[in-house]
């Protein structure tokens, strides 16, 4: 059975076409993730409508998550149009598909946010406590710097766990599958070093892009945020492909299906 989006498979076995398979990785690059967004044929439309989605309360960002689910899965399946043009005819479908990502991300990020505030409070307590005990502001600031660095490293480590849940949610579109503790921890452990290093690189690139957006009288802020979100999805795809290339266990993909706008296209 051929994929619903493609009436003729390329000159490769169907199983190979539908799966990245071992050795399918080109490595992981934060810069390549950003370039992929700008090089996509649907870039202008997707960024523009991505901004519109972001401005729609609650359901808009969920729909954008649904579009990224479809894009992530298409990238893995080597779809000829991996990041489809965002179409308002697919808005309801994207909301349904983005719910799992929204819920799984919420369940994993709430504890992370709580820990962030605990670490921030602990850092402030350590600084003021040290200053009060020693009457030496410089010592207090030094303690705060050390505690802050430790807290930052801890948050980066937690981001590896968040990446694992987010990746599983985008590929399975199932909250239960996304939060399977053993699978999440196994993927996080296998990708720990890669995610940690590439997240730092990506954070620097994203910071520069957002800063440029702000400097452009804030007119470029929203486009920059949308590009960063799409590029983050592409980075998750790269990390997972690299994980598969190294012999990692595959995450079960949701079966492919045409989008409503594609199903109404000529030939369907």
Question: Is residue 254 packed enough to be buried (19+ CB in 10 Å), middle (13-18) or exposed (0-12)?
Answer: middle
Residue 213 inside a domain? The answer is yes
Residue 124 inside a domain? The answer is yes
pLDDT 10s digits, 13-43:
343 344 444 445 578 999 999 999 999 999 9
Q: Look at the chain and report how many structural domains it folds into.
A: 1
**C-alpha torsion 172→176→182→185, nearest 10:** 60
Please report where in the chains the tokens 């080109």 appear, as a residue.
26
Q: Rounded to an integer, what distance in angstroms lies between the CA atom of residue 108 and that of residue 141?
A: 32
What pLDDT, on the 0 to 100 scale, is given for residue 8? 39
Exposed e or buried b for every residue in 102-118, given b needs 16+ CB within 10 A?
A: bebbeebeeeeeeeeee
Range of the domain at 234: 14-262
What pLDDT, on the 0 to 100 scale, is given for residue 157? 82
DSSP per position, 33-96: HHHHHHHSTTHHHHHHHHHHHHHSTTHHHHHHHHHHHHHHHHHHTT-SSSSPPP-GGGHHHHHH
Residue 1 inside a domain? The answer is no
Residue 6 inside a domain? The answer is no
- pTM tops 0.75: yes
- Two structure tokens written together for 27: 């490595």
- Two structure tokens written together for 162: 């968040």
Residue 4 inside a domain? The answer is no
- Two structure tokens written together for 172: 């399975």
Give, for all 268 residues of the chain, the pLDDT tens digit: 444 444 333 333 343 344 444 445 578 999 999 999 999 999 999 999 999 999 999 999 999 999 999 999 999 999 999 999 999 999 999 999 999 999 999 998 888 778 777 777 777 777 777 777 787 777 767 767 777 777 777 778 888 999 999 999 999 999 999 999 999 999 999 999 999 999 999 999 999 999 999 998 888 999 999 999 999 999 999 999 999 999 999 999 999 888 898 876 554 4
What pLDDT, on the 0 to 100 scale, is given for residue 125? 76
Residue 41 inside a domain? The answer is yes
Exposed e or buried b for every residue in 35-59, given b needs 16+ CB within 10 A?
A: ebbeebeebeebbebbbebbeeeeb
Chain centroid to CA 249: 19
What pLDDT, on the 0 to 100 scale, is given for residue 180? 94
Residue 267 inside a domain? The answer is no
Residue 212 inside a domain? The answer is yes
What pLDDT, on the 0 to 100 scale, is given for residue 18? 47
Length of the chain: 268
């Amino acid at each position: 059975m051929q994929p619903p989006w493609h009436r003729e498979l390329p000159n490769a076995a169907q199983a190979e076409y539908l799966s990245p398979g071992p050795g399918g990785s080109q490595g992981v690059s934060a810069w390549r993730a950003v370039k992929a967004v700008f090089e996509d044929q649907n870039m202008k439309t997707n960024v523009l409508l991505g901004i519109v989605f972001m401005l729609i309360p609650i359901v808009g960002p969920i729909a954008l998550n649904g579009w990224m689910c479809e894009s992530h899965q298409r990238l893995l399946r080597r779809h000829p149009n991996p990041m489809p043009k965002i179409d308002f005819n697919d808005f309801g479908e994207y909301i349904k598909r983005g719910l799992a990502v929204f819920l799984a991300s919420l369940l994993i990020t709430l504890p992370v946010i709580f820990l962030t505030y605990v670490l921030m409070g602990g850092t402030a307590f350590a600084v003021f406590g040290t200053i009060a005990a020693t009457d030496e502001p410089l010592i207090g600031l030094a303690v705060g710097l050390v505690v802050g660095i430790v807290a930052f490293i801890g948050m980066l480590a937690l981001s590896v766990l968040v990446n694992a849940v987010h990746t599983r949610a985008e590929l399975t579109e199932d909250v239960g599958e996304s939060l399977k503790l053993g699978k999440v921890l196994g993927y996080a452990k296998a990708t720990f070093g890669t995610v940690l290093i590439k997240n730092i690189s990506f954070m620097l690139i994203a910071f520069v892009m957002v800063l440029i957006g702000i400097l452009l009288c804030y007119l470029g802020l929203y486009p920059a945020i949308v590009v960063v979100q799409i590029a983050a999805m592409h980075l998750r795809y790269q990390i997972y492909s690299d994980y598969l290339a190294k012999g990692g266990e595959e995450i079960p993909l949701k079966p492919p299906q045409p989008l409503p706008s594609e199903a109404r296209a000529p030939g369907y």
